[in-house]
Amino acid sequence: MGKLTADYLISKLSDAKIHFERALDCKHTEFDDLYPYMIEHPQFFWYKRYVAWSELLTIVKLADELEIDWKEQFSEKQSEYITSRVMSSRVLDEWYETNDSKEHVG
């Protein structure tokens, strides 16, 4: 197996960010396909966001351990949310609010 490159990890981080943002926006993600029966449950979107957030934090943790700068992929506020690791209602409500200067990937 080849070495894990910074570019590879940054691309996975970008995928995880898009996955989280799609979950925030209640758009279709891979999670919908894995648990189609869950769509009927009121908690479904909470679980979906939790899974996407966990994925994002896992990749950030790997980037930190490998000393790869991941913060340039996010606004300053988003980086703070990720660093604090807690997905609060504030994260859900304000994720995009301070993201005006960044290009929104959809």
Domain extents for the chain? 1-94
Residue 34 confidence (pLDDT): 87
Helix and strand numbers, DSSP H then E, in the chain: 5, 0
Instruction: Please tell me the distance from the alpha carbon of residue 45 to that of residue 22, in angstroms, as a whole number.
Output: 11
**Is 81 in contact with 73 (CB distance < 8 Å)?**
no
* pTM of full prediction above 0.75: yes
Residue 39 confidence (pLDDT): 80
Residue 3 confidence (pLDDT): 62
- Let me know the angle formed at the C-alpha of 88 by 87 and 90, rounded to the nearest 5 degrees: 120
Residue 106 confidence (pLDDT): 45
Mean pLDDT by 10 residues, the chain (106 residues): 77 97 92 85 89 97 94 95 94 78 48
Residue 25 confidence (pLDDT): 93
Residue 94 confidence (pLDDT): 94
Residue 101 confidence (pLDDT): 46
Residue 77 confidence (pLDDT): 95
